[in-house]
Amino acid sequence: MKIAIVCYPTFGGSGVVATELGIALAKLNHEVHFITYKQPVRLELLGKNVHFHEVNVPEYPLFHYQPYELALSSKLVDTIKKHDIDLLHVHYAIPHAYAGYMAKKMLEEEGICVPMVTTLHGTDITLVGNHPFYKPAVTFSINNSDVVTSVSQSLKDDTLRLFNIKKEIKVVPNFIEADDRKTSFTDCQRDIMAEPHERIITHISNFRPVKRISDIIDIFNNIQQAVPAKLLMVGDGPERLPAEQKCKDLGIEDRVVFLGNSNEIDKILCFSDLFLLPSERESFGLAALEAMVNKVPVISSNAGGIPEVNLEGVSGYLSEVGDVEDMSEKALLILKDDQTLDRFKEGAFQQAMKFDISNIVPLYTDLYEEALATF
């Protein structure tokens, strides 16, 4: 198949999933065309079967807002025609499904029919898309996609509750590649981050308010009072500076390292002992899954789709959103001795294996084939 993928090319989970999916499809000999405004961060090499088409939005001073959707839908039309694309897969309803629908209609005028698969990732539904300013367009885009998938049952339930959806939504969970650990244990340079007797706690996100960064600092503060520990904060976003200040106020700034955005997630996770994800909302929690496949147990909230990923008492523990004390106690339960920690590390890995790429990518290719057969 020749597949065009539209995604956000940033560090966010939706972009990561779209990129990894495209790379996996290319390995299966499908021809994959990424269409977005920047080369996706995880797309390191443009190899055989992988192409990237940049969407340019010319700046024009008359416009207060530059029309990205217009540029994207035009680029889609051109690329689909030029490369004889069979199917379009857009990640994120806003604005990708909207632009995709416009492209489909323009192509239909020329007698070209291309089915569109839309994958909902969370923020496009629970945070932004649900806003009254966007809701009619999001509802329309979902209802006019040929196939709609969501990354968890929880997100599907939210979508059906919040929007007037007439289309069937199929749950296709996010995935990881268990065989593709880039860091072997011999490469794992734990000693650059902590002393042998210290536990390493890690958080990775885009530091938006929904991630409850302040809770992470509080949980870590409690942990480090009971066991020697370091906290690695990976990523960047609006809550980073307040978090750095909070560490200073608590007098723990020498125990917390803010690493900024990183492309070396596996290298960091290989020496981590515990991952914290106390989010207010999370449709899936891909960062937790990436931790688990690196044998890092997870202390999380029970928000959204996280309980579909993190298994209570096996890969970690879950608490009510904001219950910092409970999360701290459960973290210490896991970290209290090496034997318990090893049991949770193995539990995390086994649970992550359920989401191995080999189980999930065929779900997408089956949907593509169905869509093409009925189109």
Contact positions vs ligand GMT (CB under 6 A): 12-15, 17, 121-123, 151, 174, 205-206, 210, 281-286
CB burial readout 151-165, b (16+ within 10 A) else e: bbebbbebbeeebeb
CB of 8 to ligand GMT, least distance (A): 6
Task: Give the DSSP letter string of 41-98.
Answer: TT-----TTEEEEEPP----TT-SS--HHHHHHHHHHHHHHHHT--EEEEESIIIIIH
CB of 12 to ligand GMT, least distance (A): 3
CB of 282 to ligand GMT, least distance (A): 4
CB of 356 to ligand GMT, least distance (A): 16
User: Which residues are 300's β-sheet partners?
Assistant: 277, 318
Residue 16 neighbours by CB under 8 Å, 6+ apart: 41, 42, 286
Nearer to ligand GMT, 205 or 328 (CB): 205
Nearer to ligand GMT, 63 or 68 (CB): 68
Nearer to ligand GMT, 38 or 83 (CB): 38
DSSP state of 311: P
Phi/psi for 335 (5° steps) reads -85, -5
CB of 304 to ligand GMT, least distance (A): 6
Name the CA radius of gyration of the chain, rounded.
Answer: 21
The burial class, CB within 10 Å (0-12 / 13-18 / 19+), for 280 is: middle
CB of 325 to ligand GMT, least distance (A): 24
Nearer to ligand GMT, 26 or 309 (CB): 309
Tell me which residue has tokens 């309980």. 307
Nearer to ligand GMT, 50 or 287 (CB): 287
CB of 174 to ligand GMT, least distance (A): 5
Nearer to ligand GMT, 117 or 210 (CB): 210
DSSP state of 237: S
Nearer to ligand GMT, 158 or 218 (CB): 158
From CA 272, how far away is CA 294, in angstroms rounded? 9
